[in-house]
Structures are given as C-alpha cells and as structure tokens.
C-alpha cells in the first residue's frame, strides 16, 4: 500500500547519461521517422550529417527507469498506466555529450478505494557540462490498484479544454508491429509492452505501445504539420492519454490552430478510438 509521506519523498535516482548520435537516431527511428527514405525533411532525424533530435526525445533523457516497480514504493506496478504527459523544451536538445536527469514525485491524489490514485512526477534535464536546463518533463501515473490509502483528494491537474468543430489539419502516421520492441531500447523496459503474459495480467489482449511512444508519434505530427520540422519552434506540449495504442495501428492527429500554438487530439484509425485527448501545443 502507498504511504503518502514516503512516496512524496521517494529517492528517485539522479541519472547521468552519455548521449551519442546513435542514441538520437535510434529514438527518432523508434517513433516512426524514416519510414519514407525519400522524404528529405525527415532525413536529418536519421542521418548523422546534420543530425537533429526530435523534441520529444527529452522524455527518455536522464530517465531513471521503471522506478515505481520497486517494492518499497508501495505501488501495484502491474496495474499502473500512463495518464498524462507534458514537455517544455528550454533549448534544442544536443545530439551528443552528457545530460543529467533529476526526478521527484510532486503530488499524490487518492481517488478512493477501488478508484485508484494519481501520482504526479517531474524530471528536469540539464546539460552536464554547462548546467543549462534543457527540458522539463512532467507526467501523471494512474495507479489503478492503489486507491484508498488515506492520501489527499486533490488538487487534481485540470485538463486543457477539448477542441470543437472540424480540425484545421489532420495527419496520419503509421506505427509498426514491432515498434514497442524498438522503443523500449530507449530505456523504458516495462514488460507490459513486450510480454504477452504481463499484458494479459494488466487487462490487455496483447502488449500495448508505450504511452511515450504515442507521445513521440504525435510530436512528430505536430512538428510536421505546424513547424515544418523546425525543432527550434517547439515550446510546450501537453496531453492526456485516453486509450492504448496497439503496435501496427495508424495514429491520426487532429489539429486546431490557436493563437501562439494549437489544440490537438489523436485517434487510432483502425478502431476509431481516441487515444490522446486534451492536447495543447505552444510555440517557443
């Protein structure tokens, strides 16, 4: 069972990570870039001369691993799902060097017995040599099996309002059947995404795509549709995960222009299921 005071002070390991151009190329490939070898706008994301990091790569930098699985967290890790994710980019990501990720639990919400709990956490990523802040990533973990531990009932992060009417822009990006197996090589080794037995225990018919891989695919759509792949224009991206994606499905990102940015959501074409909702994007 979760003990609120203990989890709020949980010592998530600080991570110092060496970054190579191969790591950047692997991440970009793992979210689906490079599927069209003749698309010259995508070539800088996969080819080392002039290599560029997709902004969403920040979510795997300085990553402390699946720390919530440790027995002393008190969390029923098999039943956790990724609820929300945000990313603020303070400067373009490097393609080599060393970065430091410092993570902490920032809040807990007890939704009651049988209703689960929300775990809010944040990670700040800095350049190890200069100390400059590169990115801030924040996430909400929905611990489906951990409600009723006697924790606070709020505050709950308010979602961005959903857009109405027809979108101004629609982009379809396919995922590959083996994409989760590639994506986990970025450091997210949760067996839910590769082991059928673990997926079944968690209530899914087969392994699901990482929520952060879906995040990366949607980031790709936003960069393509709003920024013409200019990563210096990326400011902030925030979304809520509504339903899982199964590897091999096509993610359709629907975009509504807004002053200074955009609202967005995403759905799986094959099942017509919304998988990302309450999305908000801001230009740098």
- Which pTM was predicted? 0.94
208 part of the active site: yes
pLDDT, one tens digit per residue, over 192-214 is 899 999 999 888 999 999 999 99
* CATH numbers and ranges of domains, the chain: 4-283 (3.10.129.10)
Express each pLDDT in 219-273 by its tens digit. 999 999 999 999 999 999 999 999 999 999 999 999 999 999 999 999 999 999 9
DSSP the chain: ---HHHHHT--PPPEEEEE-HHHHHHHHHHTTTTSSTT-TTTGGGTSSTT----GGGGGGTT---SGGGSGGG---GGGEEEEEEEEEESSPPPSSEEEEEEEEEEEEEE--TTT-EEEEEEEEEEETTT--EEEEEEEEEEETT---SS----PPPPPPPPP-SS-SEEEEEE--TTHHHHHGGGS---GGGT-HHHHHHTT-SS----HHHHHHHHHHHHHHHHSTT-GGGEEEEEEEE-S---TTPEEEEEEEEETTEEEEEEEETTTTEEEEEEEEEEE-
Active site residue 230: no
Q: Which of 2, 101, 146, 193 is catalytic?
A: 193
pLDDT for res 65: 87
What pLDDT is attached to residue 77?
Answer: 87
Low-confidence residues of the chain, pLDDT below 70?
none
Catalytic residue among 151, 211, 216, 279: 211
Annotated catalytic residue: which of 15, 188, 220, 238? 188
What's the pLDDT score for residue 129?
96
| 82 catalytically annotated | no
| Active-site annotation holder among 2, 119, 208, 255 | 208
Above pLDDT 90, what percent of the chain? 94
To the query of whether residue 193 is one of the catalytic residues in this protein, the response is: yes
């Amino acid at each position: 069972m979760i003990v609120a005071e203990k989890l709020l002070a949980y010592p998530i390991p600080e991570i110092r990570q060496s970054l190579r151009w191969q790591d950047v190329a692997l991440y970009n490939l793992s979210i689906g870039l490079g599927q069209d070898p003749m698309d010259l706008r995508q070539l800088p994301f996969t080819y080392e001369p002039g290599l560029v990091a997709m902004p969403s790569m920040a979510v795997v930098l300085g990553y402390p691993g699946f720390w919530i699985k440790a027995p002393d967290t008190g969390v029923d890790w098999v039943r956790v799902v990724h609820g929300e994710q945000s990313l603020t980019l303070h400067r373009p990501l490097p393609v080599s060097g060393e970065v430091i990720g410092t993570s902490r639990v920032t809040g807990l919400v007890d939704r009651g017995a049988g209703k689960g709990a929300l775990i809010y956490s944040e990670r700040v990523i800095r350049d190890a040599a200069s100390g400059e802040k590169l990115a801030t990533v924040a996430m909400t973990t929905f611990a489906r099996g951990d409600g009723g531990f006697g924790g606070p009932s709020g505050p709950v992060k308010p979602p961005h309002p959903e857009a109405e009417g027809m979108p101004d822009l629609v982009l379809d990006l396919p995922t590959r059947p083996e994409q989760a197996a590639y994506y986990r090589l970025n450091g997210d080794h949760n067996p839910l995404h590769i082991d059928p037995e673990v997926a079944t225990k968690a209530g899914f018919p087969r392994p699901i795509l990482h929520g952060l891989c879906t995040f990366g695919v949607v980031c790709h759509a936003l960069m393509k549709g709003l920024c013409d792949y200019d990563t210096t224009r990326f400011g902030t991206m925030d979304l809520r995960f509504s339903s899982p994606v199964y590897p091999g499905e096509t993610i359709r990102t629907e975009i509504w222009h807004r002053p200074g940015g955009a609202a967005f959501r995403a759905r799986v074409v094959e099942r017509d299921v919304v998988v990302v909702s309450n999305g908000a994007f801001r230009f740098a």
